Amino acid sequence: MKRFYFLIAILLFTSLAQAQVNVDSLQAVVNSKRPYSEKINASLKILETFELKNFDSTLIEGEKALALARKNTDSIAVAEIKRHIGVASYFQGKYDVAAKNYYESVAILEKVNEPKKLAPVYNELGKLYRKTRDLDKAMENYDKAASIFKQLKDTGGISMILNESGVVYEYKADYKEALNRYNSSLTLAEKKGDSLSVSYSLSNIAGVYVIEKKYGEAEANLLRALNIRRLLKDSFAIALTYSDLGVAMNGKGDYDKATSYLQMSNKLAETLRYIELQSNNYNELASVAQRKGRYQEAYEYFLKRSYLRDSLYAMEKTKQIAELNTKYESAKKEQQIQQQHSRIRMQNFLFIGIGGLILLTGLLIYSQYRRNKLRQETKMKTEMMKQQEMAVKAVIEAEENERQRIAKDLHDGVGQMMSAAKMNLSAFESEIKFDNEEQKESLQKVIQLVDESCKEVRTVSHIMMPNALLKNNLAAAIHDFVNKLNNKNLQAHVNTVGLDERMGSNIETVLYRVIQECVHNAIKHAGATTLDISLIRDKEGISGTIEDNGKGFDVADKENFEGIGLKNITTRIEYLKGTVDFDSAPGRGTVVAFHVPF
């Protein structure tokens, strides 16, 4: 991910390093009565200027340029404009729109035989399919681009394709081929004397080494890239390289070096006001501190990372406050001048009213003192509540992230290995000759156990990270969860009203976990055989009840609320500013009722 940000950053800095295009003057050319060739060239320069800086502006100017090109039946210009629109759509995450524009561009350029303009479009299609993980399609387009660059003897283009296609092999876990392509790109860049491209290749090579846990080789390549970027005096790239070095050293276990590199990266990032990099660095610093057993320090880094999300908003508010303060000081000075004039006019009455004035002043001072004291107390309470809320939010987010990580590990790791074991056993069954029927039945039982284990692993991973909640609404996710629970020992019923529309992912996830915890308690602790779940959404908020016929518990006994399960339910509902009640008694089941306001 960081290498992706680095490539984007380099593209931005390269565009800035070029002759600064005066967009206003280009707009003037487009709107003038000059020849079409000058107007379309100005339009294309505007798109190049905005392409990696302002995607919305690229799309707006692209439509204007398309109208101009179509009016003059300039198909080649249309193809170039569509490539720019495709790039902007890609970075906005509109991959279908990007693909449509790329393919329309390809159709035109293939028809008019413009290979020099066609190769970059194939490269963009390769990146698009790589992003959507259609790796075969990605390589198909990279190969087309590489073939054209070879025909044109464009070593820069060949070097670029080698770097881009190497990432595909990283995704395929074919690190040997990825390294081969990165090294080939490095050789071409070194022959050409292109130090910037050399640094790209070195960074990519280091990324593979980090994946392969060859941290020494990764460090060597990153240090070499760092020296190049220091010579180029590229502070932005240097900050990213320090960050990559920190990640490599964290993986290596050299935590002191990792901390040093990450802090140097943050120092530059702070100067550049690159908040996203600072946030990533604090996340990595938290990982380093956690591995060193410094959990308080890790928690502090995590909080800093969270605070950075609001820093831009805070800076804007600071600016507004400064402006208000300036206005206030001006008004205050005018008021002081008016008071001086009034004091001159009233000096004959000053001695008569001095006693009353002193008394009034004393009362005002005391009143102001009381007001300030109450304001400070209110501010302190508000800040404490905010800090508590942020701490709870951090814990819940961390828990949810850990659930998702474990679910992915179960699904992609254990689940796949057990599926492979089942396939191998099935193949073994077809090849072996059994001495008797009992041996065959024993092997079939083993295969059946492995198959049931695969299903169990898949069920656990889906419960921890439910696909239904990612794809559908809360109601669908709960129905999916309950359907998997229904069996002869437990009958669960779900009733939902008003949950067809999606709510915030945070609210849906928290409520899903609350219901999941209640169901878990009913099965594991209460021994329930029936379970009724009801969720109703109205204008005021969401109300829910989970009722079971289990053995119940004594709600007056505080020790029952010291366990993790009931604490989790209470904490999550309070996080949503809601309320929760438990109605139960030994021998008559349990009812959990909650309400979350909007």
pLDDT tens-place string over residues 480-489 = 878 877 666 7
Whether residue 107 is contained in a domain is answered as yes
Whether residue 373 is contained in a domain is answered as no
pLDDT higher than threshold 80 for residue 96: yes
Same domain, 252 and 324: no
Distances (CA, A) of 357 to 341, 354, 362, 366: 18, 5, 8, 14
Stretch 107-123: mean pLDDT: 92
Whether residue 389 is contained in a domain is answered as no
Same domain, 227 and 85: yes
175-192 vs 195-211: helix crossing angle, rounded to 10: 160
pLDDT at 20: 44
Q: What pTM, to 2 d.p., does this model score?
A: 0.44
Return all residues near 274 (Cβ < 8 A) that are at least 6 apart.
236, 239
Please list the residues that pair with 544 across neighbouring strands.
535, 594
State pLDDT tens for residues 271-322: 866 676 788 889 989 999 988 888 888 888 888 888 775 554 444 333 432 3
Which band of pLDDT confidence, cut at 50, 70 and 90, is reported for residue 11?
very low
Stretch 539-556: mean pLDDT: 88
pLDDT higher than threshold 70 for residue 161: yes
| Nearest of 538, 542, 527 to residue 572 by alpha carbon | 542
Same domain, 194 and 72: yes
Q: With left for phi above 0 and alpha for psi between -120 and 50, is residue 233 left, alpha or beta? A: left
Which band of pLDDT confidence, cut at 50, 70 and 90, is reported for residue 23?
confident
Total domains in the chain come to: 5
Whether residue 378 is contained in a domain is answered as no
pLDDT at 318: 34
| Nearest of 114, 115, 65, 118 to residue 88 by alpha carbon | 65
pLDDT at 1: 42
Same domain, 253 and 170: no
Q: Which long-range contacts (CB under 8 A, 24 or more apart) does 217-220 make?
A: 218/248, 219/245, 219/248, 219/249, 219/252
Please work out, in degrees rounded to the nearest 5, the angle formed at the alpha carbon of residue 75 by the alpha carbons of 74 and 79: 125
Same domain, 450 and 416: yes
Domain boundary among 260, 292, 309: 309
Same domain, 90 and 112: yes
For residue 533, give the CATH number of its domain: 3.30.565.10
Stretch 80-88: mean pLDDT: 91
pLDDT at 6: 42
| Nearest of 392, 302, 323 to residue 577 by alpha carbon | 392
Whether residue 551 is contained in a domain is answered as yes
pLDDT at 102: 92
pLDDT higher than threshold 60 for residue 581: yes
* C-beta neighbour count of 302 within 10 angstroms: 20
Domain boundary among 232, 264, 283: 232
For residue 32, give the CATH number of its domain: 1.25.40.10
The span from the CA of 124 to the CA of 132, in Å, is: 13
Whether residue 24 is contained in a domain is answered as yes
Stretch 481-506: mean pLDDT: 79
Same domain, 205 and 238: no
The span from the CA of 95 to the CA of 89, in Å, is: 7
Whether residue 120 is contained in a domain is answered as yes
pLDDT at 4: 39
In contact, 159 and 195? CB cutoff 8 Å: no
Q: Which domain covers residue 266, as residue numbers?
A: 234-309
Same domain, 510 and 419: no
Same domain, 124 and 182: yes
pLDDT at 321: 29
Same domain, 202 and 131: yes
Stretch 492-514: mean pLDDT: 82
Which has more pLDDT, 356 or 157?
A: 157
Whether residue 356 is contained in a domain is answered as no
Please work out, in degrees rounded to the nearest 5, the angle formed at the alpha carbon of residue 98 by the alpha carbons of 94 and 104: 150
pLDDT higher than threshold 90 for residue 343: no
The span from the CA of 381 to the CA of 389, in Å, is: 12
Same domain, 538 and 583: yes
Same domain, 8 and 122: yes
The span from the CA of 151 to the CA of 146, in Å, is: 9
Domain boundary among 179, 203, 232: 232
pLDDT at 333: 60
